[in-house]
Amino acid sequence: MTGPDTGPVRVPPEVLEGLEAVRLSGLTNMLDRPAVARIAAAMGYADTTLWIHANRGLYAQGIFRGFKADPGLKEAR
């Protein structure tokens, strides 16, 4: 099955960078959205933190479908 809701969730590159930094740190389970946002903020990834807070549903989808950097997306919000 293919469609707009089956591929990776597209995010600005700086958001993906922060998500990957948190994931690679191993400090939390990526399903713990509040902890991911807190850790991203502590690591200096403000755009990632803002995006997570503004896009709860997309974050949840991305956990299961994956994330893909889209340079065309400039705003983290």
Does residue 35 lie in a domain region?
A: yes
Does residue 20 lie in a domain region?
A: yes
Contacts of 73 (CB under 8 A, 6+ apart): 10, 11, 12
pLDDT digits (tens, 9 = 90+) for 11-67: 999 999 999 999 999 999 999 999 999 999 999 999 999 999 999 999 999 999 999
Domain tally for the chain?
Answer: 1
HSE value, Cβ hemisphere, 13 Å, CA-based, for 36:
25
Does residue 40 lie in a domain region?
A: yes
The pLDDT assigned to 74 comes to 77
Does residue 38 lie in a domain region?
A: yes
Residue 2 has pLDDT above 60, yes or no: no
Does residue 74 lie in a domain region?
A: no
Domain that holds residue 31: 9-69
